[in-house]
Amino acid sequence: MSESAPVRRTRGHLHDGREIIYYDDSHPYVDGTATRELTDTRPPVSPERAGQMRYDPLSGSWIAIATHRMDRAYMPPADECPLCPTGRGTEPSEIPADDYDVVVFENKSPSFSTRVDGVPGVSTLVDDEPLWPTLPAFGRCEVLCFTSDHDSTFSDLTVARARTVVETWVDRTVELGAIDGVEQVFCFENRGAEIGVTLTHPHGQIYAYPWVTPRTQRILTLATEHRERTGGNLLRDVLDAELRAGERVVLSGRHWAAYVPAAARWPVEVHLAPLRDVPDLPALDGDERDELAEIYLDLLRRLDRFHVAPDGSGVRLPYIAGWHQAPVSTGRDLARLHLQITSVLRAPGKLKYLAGSETGMGAWVNDATPEQIAARLREVG
């Protein structure tokens, strides 16, 4: 853990053997005077095992098949929330403690898991057809609860608590990236029913993939071509160009800058990038992590003021926030850490649907100009 952000990590296991980790920043836990309660009182059961991945020869992508996810919790009432501390609801939750600061645990219904049938990395064939190899869906999926307050959201956190979340992202990236067979770690948050969340308690997720994801692979391919053509780093050159233009820059600090990309796809889209070239979250120094906690909260609070409801109140913007990090073992000299936040809400009560052109052809149409999006985010600062 970073010396500039005292955080105490305590490990335990849930009733089915899944790991749970508390990240404490408050007394009496951070100094070790007391420890979180780790005993899960639910009857022992076997954890879900990984499904499989099937290769799509028309896209070059692996598709995870996880049928057990159909039975995962969906919008339970507040007194049955599995992410609240045990004791606040009518039955034991996923978190045995009666309170927590930040907590991470293995997902009960994982898309990827280290508990696999077969041998990780060894493929078989669907229908004995060489076009369709299949692999165990090896990896790991974790849930990260930002706060024990069920009715809160990330933008309501204090700077100190947001800093603990930053340290948790760093710690999980290091630990998951060290698992043999993991090639990429992705920290992200889905917020809002419009995005498709199944639990309203403020939380994010962390995926450890057994391959480099299609989005990252595409960026690395374009970055390779850019380097061969210009000698530069594509993501560095994009940031420098946005800073030179200035029109789409939303806010900046000593270590970070947020901007709306010149070719934004979504009705609300903003990227947050460090000014120093770093491949991933663990490469950030203490000062960069400190400022990240502040500037990220500023950005999220602007997003919460982006739209105004007919009655004049603010609108909690549904969004997806995802950290693009360098893969574990490839392309680390071409990748560059950045956060991408997107929203499907183009106006209060109006969503952008991925219709024929976007879904069928991957040809995007945006109803707002990136310059308009950036101007609005500056206005509500």
Cα–chain center distance at 147: 16
Instruction: Tell me the torsion sign for CA atoms 31, 32, 34, 36.
Output: positive
Backbone dihedral angles phi then psi of residue 185, each to the nearest 5 degrees: -120, 130
Q: Which residues lie across from 106 on neighbouring strands?
A: 142
Q: Is-contact 367 346, C-beta < 8 A?
A: yes
Residue 326 has what pLDDT?
Answer: 98
**Furthest C-alpha separation in the chain:** 62
**Residue 25's pLDDT is what?**
96
Write down the residue that tokens 């007194």 correspond to: 79
Closest CA to 195 of 266, 272, 301, 292: 266
CA 304 to chain centre: 18
Report d(CA 107, CA 217) in Å as an integer: 26
Closest-CA residue to 340 (of 194, 187, 119) = 187
Domain boundaries, the chain: 8-211, 215-379
Mean pLDDT of 351-372: 94
Looking at every residue in the chain, the average pLDDT score rounds to 94
Q: How confident is the model at residue 5 (pLDDT cuts 50, 70, 90)?
A: low
Each residue's pLDDT tens digit, 310-329: 888 878 999 999 999 999 99
Which residue do the tokens 């490469």 mark? 283
Where residue 19 falls among pLDDT bands split at 50, 70, 90? very high
Query: Has 68 been annotated as catalytic?
Result: no
Sort 220 into a burial class: Cβ within 10 Å, 0-12 / 13-18 / 19+. buried
- The phi and psi torsions of 346 (rounded to 5 degrees) equal -90, -20
Q: CA-to-CA distance for 132 and 99, rounded, in angstroms?
A: 47
Least confident of 33-42, 284-293, 364-373: 33-42
Q: Which of 15-29, 63-77, 300-314 has the lowest mean pLDDT?
A: 63-77
Rounded percentage of the chain residues whose pLDDT exceeds 90: 87
Closest CA to 179 of 57, 329, 77, 307: 329
Mean pLDDT across 99-112: 96
The CA-to-CA distance between both ends of the chain, in Å, stands at 32
Please check the confidence at residue 4 and state whether its pLDDT lies above 70. Answer: no
Q: What is the arithmetic mean of pLDDT over 130-143?
A: 97
Could you give the dihedral angle defined by the CA atoms of residues 170, 176, 180 and 185, in that order, rounded to the nearest 10 degrees? -80
Assign 3-class secondary structure to the chain: CCCCCCCEEEEEECCCCCEEEEEECCCCCCCCCCCCCCCCCCCCCCCCCCCEEEEECCCCEEEEECHHHHHCCCCCCHHHCCCCECCCCCCCCCECCCCCCEEEEECCCCCCECCCCCCCCCCEEHHHCCCCEEEECECEEEEEECCCCCCCCHHHCCHHHHHHHHHHHHHHHHHHHCCCCCCEEEEEEEECCCCCCCCCCCEEEEEEECCCCHHHHHHHHHHHHHHHHHCCCHHHHHHHHHHHHCCCEEEECCCEEEECCCCCCCCEEEEEEECCCCCCHHHCCHHHHHHHHHHHHHHHHHHHCCCECCCCCECCCCEEEEEECCCCCCCCCCCCCEEEEEECEEECCEECCCCHHHHHHCCCCCCCCHHHHHHHHHHCC
Residue 334 in this model has a pLDDT that exceeds 90:
yes
Residue 2's pLDDT band (boundaries 50, 70, 90)?
Answer: very low
Q: Tens digit of pLDDT for each residue in 39-92?
A: 999 999 999 998 999 999 999 999 999 888 877 777 889 999 999 999 898 889
- Annotated catalytic residue: which of 15, 201, 203, 226? 203
Best CA proximity match to 138, nearest among 159, 161, 119, 157: 119
The correct answer on CATH 3.30.428.10 for the domain covering 215-379 is yes
Compute the distance between CA of residue 289 and CA of residue 283 in angstroms, rounded to an integer: 10
Candidates 171, 150, 153, 172; CA nearest to 162 is: 153
Alpha-carbon dihedral sign for residues 325, 108, 42, 83:
positive
Task: Tell me yes or no: is domain 8-211 CATH 3.30.428.10.
Answer: yes
Q: For the whole model, what pTM was predicted?
A: 0.96
Instruction: Give the pair of three-digit tokens for residue 322.
Output: 């995802």
Give percent of the chain with pLDDT exceeding 70.
Answer: 99
Whether 318 and 193 have beta carbons less than 8 Å apart is answered as: yes
**Common-topology check for domains 8-211 and 215-379:** yes
